[in-house]
Homo-oligomer: A and B are copies of this chain.
Amino acid sequence: MQGSPANEAPHRMIRECRFGADVVVHPFTNLYGCAVGAGSRIGTFVEIQTGAVIGRRCKIQSHTFICDGVTIGDGVFIGHGVMFVNDKLPRATNSDGELASSNDWTLLPIDVEDGATIGSAAVILGGVTIGAGALVGAGAVVTRDVEAEATVVGVPARASTGRQLS
């Protein structure tokens, strides 16, 4: 692991991240405190927070947000505009009326296992595991665990007999 991606690009903010070999990070990205495995690619307009871990040979597409507590395996495809959530009931302020800090909530981790695919504009709620090879449809809102090799679609996401994004 090293401190920089393999490519150069303008308009990037990268602070205290660790990268495997041959990682490509596109312009207009904001990465801090995360780890990205060898051969993975990070698209434009992506933010990845401290504590997120991304495996090897993953594709993280444009406009996606990956928060603290998300662990992504190897060979995972994350579509465009995917939003991960790590809090069950986020609030701007705490019970004292002050801006909420990391002491005011419980982080709900998310695991995305090897070879899974998450369709564009899907939302992944905190606390779920998406099994190996699973497929999450485009625009789905995932509120429960998804079994390995399963396909889920819809709001909230339900099992589908198909094997495609919708």
Contact = CB atoms under 8 A, between A and B. Distances in A.
B93 A117 contact: no
B28 A99 contact: no
Contacts of A85: 79-80, 119-120, 138, 165
Interface residues of A, number: 60
A92 B75 contact: yes
Contacts of A100: 59, 77
Contact of A44 (B47, B87, B115): B47
A93 B137 CA distance: 18
Interface centre among A13, A26, A153 (most CB of B within 10 A): A13
A2 interface: no
Say what secondary structure dominates the interface of chain A: loop
Interface in A85-128: 85, 87-93, 97-100, 115, 117, 119-121, 123, 125
Interface string A3-36: 0000000110100000000000011101000000
Given A57-B97, A59-B90, A156-B166, 13 more contacts: A11-B13, A41-B99, A57-B93, A57-B98, A57-B99, A59-B100, A65-B120, A77-B91, A89-B117, A92-B115, A121-B141, A139-B155, A153-B156
Interface of A: 10-11, 13, 26-28, 30, 39, 41, 43-45, 47, 57-59, 61-63, 65, 75-77, 79-81, 83, 85, 87-93, 97-100, 115, 117, 119-121, 123, 125, 135, 137-139, 141, 143, 153-156, 163-166
